[in-house]
Chain A
Amino acid sequence: MARQLSRRRFMVYSLAASTLTVAAPLACDSSSAAGAEPGRRPPGFLVRGTDEEMLVLEVTLANRVVVRLPRVEVGQGVTTAVAMMIAEELDARLVDVDIPLADARAKGNQYTGGSNSVSSLYGPARELAATARAKLVTAAARRWNLPARTLRTRDTRVIAPDGRTATFGSLTASAARIQRPAVSTKPKPPSRHRVIGKPTTRIDARDIVTGKAKYAGDLAVAGAKPTVVARPPTLGGKLVSVDSRAARAMPGVHAVVKVASGVAVVAESFHHAFKARDALRITWAPGPLVSLSDAAIRSRLRAAVPRLGNPPRGSAQTEGEFEFAFVSHAPMEVLTAVADVRADRAEIWFSSQTPMDARDSIASAVGLRASKVKVHVMRGGGSFGRRLNHDAAIEAALISKAARRPVKLMWSRADDIRHGRMRPASHHRIRASHARGRVVAFTHTMASVSESYEGQGLSAQGSAQGPAPVSARGGVTPAAARAAGPLPSDSGLYNFGRVSGDYGSVELAIPLGAWRSVDSGTTRTAEEIVVDEVARALGKDPVAFRRTTLRNKAVKAVLDKVAAAGDWGRSMPDGHAQGVAVHEEYGSCVACLVEIDTTDRKNPRVTKVVMAADVGTAVNPRGLEAQLMGTAVDGISTVLQAGLHIDRGAVRESSYADFHYARQRHAPLRFEAHIMPSGGEPGGAGELGVPAAAGAVANAYARATGSKPRRFPLDF
């Protein structure tokens, strides 16, 4: 958003190795990464051994460029974005760059979340590759006895003016010994970018479409047999007794063990495991919420919302109360973990956004030192925040320990939907006070369910950050800080005079988790609905009203973009309407315009979505478009049709048959994304679109039906 590219440099080190291996430190976020204090030591300073806090780049003898990424790929495209940064600065072919996921480390920043992967890696990855390139060029200059400045790099090779070429792989051994590169180690200016900013297909696209991409459940770890867990019907229910004789006698059953969450069956195949699970005779004690259902949760939430103060004298009020149901993350790949726990060591394979925390939690759960626990990070089949928590990995480790054998644990889809985690239900009270055609005060108070850990076993342990919610910014906010923290509306998106807000919460023993866009998915959606209602009360058009009240030029620009591209205001038949909403977060902003057809009131269809985003430098516009597309479908799903009910302490839904996440027939027939060419530091993008899409869908629905949507999803 017209942010200047900062001139800070990232310290780059050479690691002592026989091939060129350089490393850049990764701090906890991009701003503190500058703390490496370049200048004190020259770039290329040699350090011995590998420092696992760093992002490490190696050029192999086989001419591969390998960067072990301390992040997880769950579909957001981070491996492709990082490969592009590396290819750009090295002048390597993208196909020569490998981005394997790093095992869990002992220290450093290995957190994937808060939409901060690209922004935290953009500086270090480019500095790293630029330094490596300088050393490769210097090595070639020495080999050919030519001035280094006369050499070019292209397609993973160094090229001499006379046409001679040398692959990076052929130079890597000599480049490893270069202390002082003879050419600049600075990353390119953006004007020379050929890879960054170019729409690029995912580096793993071919593996995916041929079925070769491997997820945790696809691993063939020696002896790790399929394992499932019989879980209680209610949330937090407890095992009273189990008769496992019939199950143990079934063919293909290797072990039956009790765990905190239920009874685990290890068998020859998942078919055998499920059959034996169903043959267990179990008596369960109901969980702590057995007397609680949705209606009671909603009324407790309503009662927990702090009061709105008195409105300014002489103002008129536009008010609304909004309710959001619990929502499952429901990634396509159910939680899966392969665990091999021995007396003196353990090895676990699973997809984790927080592998360092996972390693510590697993170690303490099985009684080993963390240094004896190896966690291999696998690509994940979706996450949406679900893999911040490592419940399944701890469970797999405990089962492996109890059964004294390696296991491949898989949650069933019903396990996933019935036992969480989920986005907390919330209740919002919002009031816009207006006078003489202007909003003079805006107040938003809310309450959401927060997770209590009493009487909970594994669920609590599997929480990445204990009870603290992960903030939208990617850091971890203690519950207390969150309660006092600013609401998203405090960011000053609109000129709404005095902006205020407050939080309340209802503690329940329900496994919760940060869900893509975290609190903004509900709070900002509700606010965008109120913005439309204020505009209506003032007799103004929703786009025109936003234009005159938005503070930030970049937000106005994305709004203008969707209004123009989406032909805002075009005449539409009865029951059809357009809706818009905007959102600003993660150093980025977005607008969304949707068209909806509500002529079949029970089955509204979003027919078209136009989004525009300003994320600073869009490293991969094609990947960014994909992220926006996903958030559009999240908006459609959470506003119109997908949520969870709680009936007497249990989740009513159990599969995609009743958790109605959008299918093709609910997705827009036309989708467009416009990427603003603003340059500068990259902002976050993965979660950005959710509130704008959800707000636009709700506003379109309201305009098409003449209703005021208040409880989401609307079909509940």
Chain B
Amino acid sequence: MPLLWVLRDMLNVTGPKYGCGVGVCRACTSHLDGGEIQPCVVPVADCANREVTTIEGLADSDELHPVQQAWIDRDVAQCGFCQPGQIMAAAALLKRTAHPTDADIDRIENVCRCGTYSRIREAIKKAAAAGDT
């Protein structure tokens, strides 16, 4: 059973969204042991004894993750549906690459049908800069 439906339908963890079910739109993007995954195509069995982090777990209680804060500062979201996945993808990118280039950011495949890409790019750069201070 894909992790996405365990999260959403059994555990009522609804931050990760269904957008395609085939790992393409990436609206469900979450972390497995800190690395980016698409729960719609990851069997729950692969997650045994490993740490799954969804958007709900990214903030440190009330203290937002720098990527979430940058998202608010740049007012990235429109409909908001893809944004949990976008944020998790950006957080994973920044973990791999502290100062992503435009080319690095271009490799993010997450679809945003509202077209918030420019603000996503700015927010990632802002979060990267915040990581320096």
Contact = CB atoms under 8 A, between A and B. Distances in A.
Contact of B18 (A206, A211, A217, A663): A217
Interface stretch (A72-80, A505-513, A551-559): A72-80
Contact of A632 (B14, B107, B115): B115
A330 interface: yes
Interface in B51-98: 54-56, 58-59, 64, 68, 71-73, 75, 77-84, 87
B9 interface: yes
Contact of B79 (A206, A218, A382): A382
A671 B105 CA distance: 15
Nearest to A671: B118
A76 B78 contact: yes
Contacts of A226: 9
Interface in A616-664: 622, 626, 629-634, 655-657, 661-664
A222 to B, nearest CB: 13
B72 A629 contact: no
Most chain A CB inside 10 Å of its own CB: which residue of B9, B55, B111: B9
Contacts of A663: 108-111, 117
Interface residues of B, number: 58
Nearest to B118: A671
Most chain A CB inside 10 Å of its own CB: which residue of B24, B71, B77, B102: B77
A274 B21 contact: yes
B113 A384 contact: yes
Interface residues of A, number: 62
A330 B24 CA distance: 14
Interface stretch (A60-68, A120-128, A170-178, A197-205): A197-205
Nearest to B88: A211
B106 A412 contact: no
Contacts of B16: 211
Contact of A380 (B54, B56, B79, B116): B79
A268 interface: yes
Contact of B77 (A208, A380, A634, A665): A208
Interface in A494-515: none
Interface string A209-225: 11111110110100000
B19 interface: yes
B35 interface: no
A373 interface: no
B88 to A, nearest CB: 10
A210 B56 contact: yes
A331 B79 contact: yes
A213 B71 CA distance: 15
A270 interface: yes
Given A205-B71, A671-B118, A665 B107 contact: yes
Nearest to A626: B78
B17 interface: yes
Contacts of B87: 209
A413 interface: yes
A269 interface: yes
B47 to A, nearest CB: 14
Given A211-B55, A332-B112, A669-B102, A656 B79 contact: no
Contacts of B109: 663-664
Interface string B1-45: 110011011101011111111101101000000000000000000
30 contacts: A75-B78, A76-B78, A201-B73, A204-B77, A204-B80, A205-B77, A209-B71, A210-B59, A210-B64, A211-B54, A270-B5, A270-B8, A274-B21, A332-B25, A332-B111, A379-B79, A379-B80, A381-B17, A382-B81, A413-B25, A629-B115, A629-B116, A630-B114, A634-B115, A655-B22, A657-B24, A661-B113, A662-B117, A667-B117, A668-B117
Given A626-B114, A655-B20, 4 more contacts: A209-B72, A331-B79, A664-B121, A670-B118
Interface of A: 74-77, 201-202, 204-215, 217-218, 220, 226, 268-271, 274, 330-334, 379-384, 410, 412-413, 622, 626, 629-634, 655-657, 661-665, 667-671
